[in-house]
Structure 1
Amino acid sequence: MNIATQHHFHFRKHFTTLVIPLLLVALLSSMPTYANDLEVKKPTVDIGGAVRVNYGIKDYDQTSKNRNGEFDLELLALDVDATYEDWYLDAQYRFYRGQDFDTIHHALIGFNVNPENQVEVGVVAVPFGVAPYIGNSFWFSGAYYLGFEDDYDTGIKWKHQGDDYSFDLAYFHESEYSSSDFNRYSFDVADETVGAKGGYYTVGDGTNLAANEEAGQINARFIKNYDNFNVGVSGEIGRIYNSNNAETADRYAAALHTEAKFGLWKVKAQGIQYEYDETADIGTQDGTIAISGFNFASDIASKGRVGILNISREIPINNRFIDSATCYNDFTHIKGTSDNDLGNDESMQNVTGCMLAKGGIYTYLDVIAGKNMYFAGGSGIGTQGADDWDTRFNLNIGWYF
């Protein structure tokens, strides 16, 4: 071995002897830091919920009048929110004591693509109409009982927030529960054959009962924001499947909507046109179709127009008992436009009241009046019914935490 080779050998030997241990030390010293990073990146979880009590008295219910109304623990809710890096979970489950059922309100997993875009999968809010909803009162607007406000279905949604606009696009495979299960929070198409055994307010002679269900739905909503108001347009197309005869039919809905603020005053307005195909394939040839929610089902007009005008004013108070009050009048007019007389009548709902807020405590004092309006003395919506107005006084106190 020559001198040059010996020096080269000794150099490699010393390099290996010195450098490799140093690399091992560096690697080992980095492992605790890596472990600490893993510990730091644990998901964050928040548990919350709500408790609500309710008192109501109905002028159209003799039992309610004889008992001076009903008072009950109306709602218990469990809320779970979690985040991990760009992922998030949002779910709520509700127990309704007054209606004797429990249900999912929403349950979704979301991903923050970037600050402007999110994708959500699960039981998610349907993007349609004024966001997040048009109603000011505890009762929402009449559109809620048609399935066009605060509705939740099972699917996937993309949300985009621009500088002065928002855009939502969603596909829903089905409603949150089977159409034969009326124990749902939001209103969706009902299986009439199941409801005919009880809990279904049918219009007419109860013929043409169909086992209908929602089978695919696409929603899109665009809202353009200006200094003190916004203007939006919403669209919905979908199919109804009748499992009795394996037939399908189409449906659609479209809406124009706006929300404006003038100081402490706020105005919300919305017009909706909706239509289910009137065909024997899904039992709508009589001009009606059944939808369900809150443990009951009722007929609605298979075609209709909806007009909503809601006005409210915020009143700052800021004392020990109340932070602010918001007083409002919410009015909804619904006109069934079916070619068949059973689905060609009008329904109206008017709610006058105030919402008192103190931290997470919200108190609603409402007088709700309805004409031929489901949940206000009527048997359906936009269907053949009574011309009398029915009234209900309602007090609801809820603590959201």
Structure 2
Amino acid sequence: MTAHAKPHFQPKKSALTFAFSLLTAGLFQIAPAYAEETDTEATESSKPTFNIGGAVRVNYGIEDYNQASKDRHGDLDLELLRLDIDGSYEDWYLDARYSFYRGQDFDTVNFAFIGFNVDPNNQVEVGIIPVPFGAEPYIGNSFWFSGAYYLGFEDDSDAGIKWKHKGDDYTFDLAYFHQSEYASSDFNRYSFDVADETVGEEGGYYTVGDGTNLAANEEAGQINARFIKNFDNFNVGVSGEFGRIYNNNNAETADRYALALHSEAKFGLWTVKAEGIQYEYDETEDIGTQDGTIALSGFKYAADIASKGRVGILNISREIPINNRFIDSATCYNDFTHIKGTSNNDLGNDESMQNVTGCMLAKGGIYTYIDVIAGKNMYFVGGSGIGTQGADDWDTRFNLNIGWYF
């Protein structure tokens, strides 16, 4: 595979500001008609509602590439305690999730935002919001998501404002994100974002290069748009992401973009999901990416990914109704991700692969994931990064996760 040419679009600060202004102006034009209609129809004020939920999960895993894990015959721990909060009052609503990952010894916000129902087809959300990119809500079936998650393109949340529009047979999202949910030097986060590499090994950073291009980068402005068209038994969507990276070392900036085409189809009890992504960070000394890599962090650690790459995802699953005392249904799946680094530098020019085969067993609010995850040159499965120079061996881990969601 060869690298695609860099697009001419370069989102400067003025372009991001213009997009934000356009977004907010359009929303205020929609609001008055709906407000007038609901005021005349309402006979009394609605009462606020407030709900608290959460999850408790226990995890067992054993890694074939970790001798200590094999010597201990795997590890069993209380993996997660989670708090979910949602509420509503008239046309306003809130949604928040905070997780305590006891197995990894850190806690983090997943998302936390306030929303407003402009009318039945339009909502505005402000806060730490799920980023509209790729299949909705996410493309992965397994406990591990797809490989796109570790590149920041699945189940990601950032700080900004989003407009959600629902038509008769389509949905459209437009969002502006000012920054990631935490400072780039804080690796204690759920979703993967650009990392400050200068915090060093004490912050849990692993480099595949020579360590001479460490940069204090952060995300500084991002526009997202997603359109999904729904048909009888499938949908097709396109997503775009355009933003800037700011280097705190030298006050320089660089551009980045990502484009995706995604689809989901249902054939009876079978579901097929597919997604293709092309992404690129400018390769420049301004942000230390001249070696073809950039660092992303999540779950306490950071690692290099290829600064340019292509991603292909194909996930197949089948639901199996069971309906006995122990299991209501099982969903078995195989999720495959291929990532090809297309950097101009050899460091960020390699392939990574991830394959997860498993089943999810459901009983009420109890969900059990049984997964065998295999990775080649893949972060979180024995690899040092993604799409970068690494080992050609396949590594595997077995994982059993039992959670009660309430």
Give the structure-1-normalised TM-score: 0.90
| Aligned-partner residue type, residue 370 of structure 1 | G
Q: Cα deviation per residue 1:60-105 (whole Å; 9 max; x = unaligned)?
A: 0000000000000000001111100000010011000111100001
Give ranges in structure 2 of 5+ residues lacking alignment.
1-41
Aligned to 1:70: 75
Aligned pairs for 1:145-156 within 5 A: 145-156=150-161
Report the Cα offset of residue 308 of structure 1: 0.2
**2-side partners of 1:128 and 1:94: how far apart?**
23
Aligned to 1:79: 84
Report the Cα offset of residue 215 of structure 1: 0.0
| Aligned-partner residue type, residue 164 of structure 2 | K
| Aligned-partner residue type, residue 366 of structure 1 | D
Report the Cα offset of residue 198 of structure 1: 4.0
**2-side partners of 1:87 and 1:40: how far apart?**
13
Name the larger-Rg structure: 1
Within the alignment, does 1:337 sit opposite 2:342 as a pair? yes
**1-side partners of 2:212 and 2:235: how far apart?**
44
Report the Cα offset of residue 39 of structure 1: 9.7
**2-side partners of 1:38 and 1:98: how far apart?**
51
Within the alignment, does 1:259 sit opposite 2:264 as a pair? yes
**2-side partners of 1:88 and 1:204: how far apart?**
46
Within the alignment, does 1:348 sit opposite 2:353 as a pair? yes
Contact 2:45 2:90 in 1 (8 A): no
Within the alignment, does 1:214 sit opposite 2:225 as a pair? no
What percentage of aligned pairs have identical amino acids?
A: 85
Contact 1:195 1:297 in 2 (8 A): no
Within the alignment, does 1:306 sit opposite 2:311 as a pair? yes
Contact 1:94 1:102 in 2 (8 A): yes
Report the Cα offset of residue 232 of structure 1: 0.5
Q: Secondary structure at the match of 1:210?
A: coil
Give ranges in structure 1 of 5+ residues lacking alignment.
1-36
**2-side partners of 1:99 and 1:254: how far apart?**
32
| Aligned-partner residue type, residue 67 of structure 1 | R
**1-side partners of 2:44 and 2:187: how far apart?**
44
Contact 1:323 1:358 in 2 (8 A): yes
Q: Cα deviation per residue 1:226-282 (whole Å; 9 max; x = unaligned)?
A: 011011000000000001000000000000010000000000000000000000000
**1-side partners of 2:383 and 2:271: how far apart?**
30
**2-side partners of 1:351 and 1:199: how far apart?**
26
Aligned to 1:114: 119
Which residue, 328, 336, 349 being the options, matches 1:323? 328
Contact 1:49 1:77 in 2 (8 A): yes
Aligned pairs for 1:367-386 within 5 A: 367-386=372-391
Contact 1:235 1:255 in 2 (8 A): yes
**2-side partners of 1:142 and 1:390: how far apart?**
15
Q: Secondary structure at the match of 2:285?
A: coil
Which residue, 94, 99, 117 being the options, matches 1:94? 99
Runs of 4+ that moved beyond 4 A = 37-40
Q: Secondary structure at the match of 2:287?
A: coil
Which residue, 280, 289, 308 being the options, matches 1:284? 289
**2-side partners of 1:50 and 1:383: how far apart?**
35
**2-side partners of 1:341 and 1:227: how far apart?**
45
Aligned to 1:170: 175
Aligned to 1:189: 194
Contact 2:155 2:191 in 1 (8 A): yes
Which residue, 359, 367, 374 being the options, matches 2:364? 359
Aligned to 2:22: none
| Aligned-partner residue type, residue 187 of structure 1 | F
Report the Cα offset of residue 196 of structure 1: 4.1
Q: Secondary structure at the match of 2:93?
A: strand
Give the structure-2-normalised TM-score: 0.89
Report the Cα offset of residue 38 of structure 1: 11
**2-side partners of 1:387 and 1:52: how far apart?**
33
Q: Secondary structure at the match of 1:342?
A: helix
**2-side partners of 1:348 and 1:316: how far apart?**
31
**2-side partners of 1:360 and 1:354: how far apart?**
16
**1-side partners of 2:96 and 2:267: how far apart?**
34
Which residue, 275, 300, 307 being the options, matches 1:270? 275
